[in-house]
Amino acid sequence: RIAEVKAKERRKAIEEILYTLVVQKFMDADISLIPSITTHPSGQVDSWPSEDEKLEKLHSPEAYEMIQSHLALLLGNRSGDSTSVAQISKLRVGQVYAASVMYGYFLKRVVQ
């Protein structure tokens, strides 16, 4: 039981460290994870300002191209259309997430 509790605490600590590193990366790139609410001429308040350019600068052009290729493979070439909605099961979401995490680790090692 003690080993279980310690393992759970270690996992939680690692999750928090990874989360902090991700948030720091966005902060370094001056990308807000919580957009400010501004008045839109149409009165719409649920739209976020586009951060695409800043997000693209998080990675090298080569890495960005590899990311686009990975997303196109996973999403069936719908990744360029931000308005499309894909029907996907929870199992498939988990598989896509796991594949993307593994791809992210691979990409990080290649870039280094």
Q: What is the DSSP letter of 80?
A: T
Residue with tokens 């951060």: 51
DSSP calls for 13-59 = HHHHHHHHHHHHHHHHTT--SSPPP---TTS--SPPPP-HHHHHTTS
- Cβ partners under 8 Å of residue 78, min gap 6: 84, 86
51/32 Cα distance (integer angstroms): 9
pLDDT of residue 2: 92
pLDDT tens for 30-77 read 877 776 666 666 666 666 667 777 777 777 788 778 878 887 877 776
- Specify the pLDDT at position 9: 94
| Residue 3: pLDDT band with limits 50, 70, 90 | very high
Instruction: State percent of the chain over pLDDT 70.
Output: 77
What is the largest distance, in Å, between two alpha-carbon atoms of the chain? 59
The pLDDT of residue 13 is: 92
**CB contact at 8 A, 68 and 79:** yes
Sign, CA dihedral 90-13-105-28, equals: positive
Distance, CA of 107 to CA of 101 (rounded, Å): 10
